[in-house]
Amino acid sequence: MAYRTLQYETGPDHVATITLDRPEALNAFNRAMCDEFREVWKRVRDDDAVHAVVLRGSAGRAFCAGLDVKSSYGQPDDIWNHADPGEALSPKWNKVWKPVVCAVHGICTAGGLYFVNEADIVICSSDAVFFDSHVSTGRVAVLEPIGLARRIHLGDVLRMALLGNDERITAETALRMGIVSEVTRPEDLRDRAHELAAAIAAKPSVATQGTVRAIWESLDKGRQAALDQGLAYTRLANPIGEALAEPGAAAGKSRHRLR
């Protein structure tokens, strides 16, 4: 399937690579990209040969500059039917539990933080810069900071959201804050992201998907409810994963999937 705003490819190592492909617009997303993300996440979810994902931006100045404000997103007239674009962009909203490694280069601002917030591992190159431009353009900063507050300290989130364009977070600062877990040279970013995804993809997918799902779902539950549900997931998935991990077993061939 051909996409207008994305590139999608898979390899024999069970890694799918999704590349935001609107470099002329700093890889900003529009309605077309959101629609294509819904389709590509379904494709990832339903393909048993895909065990992990690399999410990256096409070469240029930016990983993602957020929503493309130069084109209409096309919200309906009825405000009660307005949808958050992040629902289309999010692997978790789309019930994808396959691990996602996000590779950030250059500018990542505003809605570009959706991808950072929803990834399981985030790395960046030394030229990356993170900021939230909403308040500088007169817009309320809400959805992206709320997502980011699940990853980093509340004080850092508020400083970033309230200072807008005046708070540019470098790669090294992002590492200290916990936005990313690793910083690479720009020329090494793509290879390193793929290396991480391939290492994950080599494990039985039923185990990695269950791990991702249990941890993310725990964020919306109390501690005991999260532990009880997670225990049920181990009872469901561990016998399958352990069988696939045995020497000589064909890891990833199981038709069992977590949705």
What CATH number corresponds to the domain at position 102? Answer: 3.90.226.10
Query: What's the mean pLDDT when you consider all of the chain?
Result: 93
| Res. 22: pLDDT tops 50 | yes
214 and 228 share a domain? yes
User: What is the model's pLDDT at position 132?
Assistant: 97
229 and 215 share a domain? yes
Cβ–Cβ contacts within 10 Å for residue 228, how many?
A: 11
164 and 218 share a domain? no
| Res. 152: pLDDT tops 70 | yes
54 and 125 share a domain? yes
Residue 257: inside a domain, yes or no?
no
What whole-number percentage of the chain has pLDDT above 70?
95
User: What is the model's pLDDT at position 77?
Assistant: 80
Burial of residue 183 (number of CB atoms within 10 Å: 0-12, 13-18, 19+): buried
Q: Show which of 201, 216, 231 is a domain's final residue.
A: 201
| Res. 120: pLDDT tops 80 | yes
Helix or strand (DSSP H, E) at 170: strand 169-170
Contact 6, 89 (CB under 8 A): no
Confidence tier at 248 by pLDDT (50, 70, 90): low
Among residues 110, 105, 106, the alpha carbon closest in space to that of 69 is found at: 110
CA distance 161 to 144: 9
| Res. 36: pLDDT tops 90 | yes
134 and 193 share a domain? yes
What average pLDDT score do residues 216-221 get? Answer: 94
Write the DSSP symbol of residue 29.
B
Contact 41, 96 (CB under 8 A): yes
The single residue listed with the structure tokens 């997670």 is 230
| Res. 109: pLDDT tops 70 | yes
The single residue listed with the structure tokens 């007169």 is 138
| Res. 59: pLDDT tops 80 | yes
Residue 50: inside a domain, yes or no?
yes
Q: What is the pTM (predicted TM-score) of this model?
A: 0.91
What average pLDDT score do residues 8-24 get? Answer: 97
Residue 24: inside a domain, yes or no?
yes
Confidence tier at 252 by pLDDT (50, 70, 90): very low
Q: Show which of 148, 181, 201 is a domain's final residue.
A: 201
Higher-pLDDT residue of 8, 249: 8
56 and 165 share a domain? yes
Residue 96: inside a domain, yes or no?
yes
Burial of residue 57 (number of CB atoms within 10 Å: 0-12, 13-18, 19+): buried
Which phi and psi angles does 217 have, rounded to 5°? -65, -25
**Domain range spanning residue 14?**
6-75+83-201
230 and 186 share a domain? no
Among residues 116, 130, 127, the alpha carbon closest in space to that of 185 is found at: 127
Residue 112: inside a domain, yes or no?
yes
215 and 131 share a domain? no
58 and 161 share a domain? yes
What average pLDDT score do residues 196-214 get? Answer: 97
User: What is the model's pLDDT at position 231?
Assistant: 93
What whole-number percentage of the chain has pLDDT above 90?
83
Confidence tier at 75 by pLDDT (50, 70, 90): confident
In which order are the strands placed within the sheet that holds 121-125? Answer: 6-10, 15-20, 52-57, 100-104, 121-125, 182-184
123 and 216 share a domain? no
Number of structural domains the chain divides into: 2
User: What is the model's pLDDT at position 82?
Assistant: 81
112 and 142 share a domain? yes
| Res. 259: pLDDT tops 90 | no
Q: Which tokens hold the place of 14?
A: 């069970």
Residue 249: inside a domain, yes or no?
no
Residue 15: inside a domain, yes or no?
yes
131 and 105 share a domain? yes
CA distance 229 to 213: 10
